[in-house]
Amino acid sequence: MANAAAFFDLDKTLLAKSSTLAYAKPLYQSGMITRKDLLRSAYAQSVYLIAGATDDQMDQMRVYMSEMVKGWEVEQVKEIAREALGTVIEPIVYAEALQLFDEHHEAGRDVVVISSSGTEIIEPICELLGADKAIGSQVEIEDGKYTGEILFYAVGEGKADAIRALAADNGYDLDHCFAYSDSITDVPMLEIVGHPVATNPDKELRALAKDRVWPVLDFREPVSMAARKAHNRNRAAGAAAGAAALGMAWYAAHRLRRSS
């Protein structure tokens, strides 16, 4: 096993937009959300891109996610997530992020993506990018449908807890691990590793990074589709096995530990 890992936030760190909000159009086209939801998502996306996310906004997103997904068929969500990868996700992946993935893999580190987006959304994205593991928010499922109850929300201290648990399970030395994020809400995740990196940081995180002398990365435009597909072919086979059971498997183990 690798004794270290690189932990990446997803939205505005690896992707130029919010992964959850980016899927609003295909969800609308499938009839799963209303036009009002579509417009609300577009507005939320624009605010997020301009100003970033605060703790209050993340709490609002949790409520919005809970209300929106209640009653959705899980398999339909998975199908949409995979079918829309080419139109929704491929155009918004940062070239520099893929280069970092390669550098960490070459150094013998696992690459782990951890995002507030739902597990069923992020797993195909992580396969596409070539991540080894991924953790997303987990919504309760009964009879193949979401109940709307969020069992685990991968935000703030929740991300830090998940990283600690994953490190314990996989033998990662956190002092030798890296973490990348754009948001001030992810300070708990950045603080627990030996190598925190503010990546496309919002105003608050940029100021904190300067104060704490953390490295700062600013990515440019997303990479071309052709270059990304060439990269994907090199990593896809190994990534598919690693990403297959991510969110649910981690949450189940985490809940068992808490109840024991």
Task: Please give the positions annotated as active site.
Answer: 9, 11
- Phi and psi for 26 in degrees, rounded to 5? -65, -30
Task: Give the torsion sign (CA, 199, 202, 206, 209).
Answer: negative
Count Cα neighbours of 57 within 13 Å in the Cβ-side half-sphere.
14
Residue located via tokens 């609002």: 60
Nearest alpha carbon to residue 12 among 198, 151, 210: 198
What are the Cα distances from residue 187, in Å, to 197, 208, 234? 10, 9, 32
d(CA 255, CA 243): 20
Task: State the DSSP H helix or E strand holding residue 14, giving kind and residue range, or none if neither.
Answer: none
Return left, alpha or beta for 156; rule: phi > 0 is left, psi -120 to 50 is alpha, else beta.
left
d(CA 5, CA 27): 33
Helix axes 157-170, 246-259, angle to 10 degrees: 90
d(CA 2, CA 160): 19
- List the structure tokens of 158: 């929740």
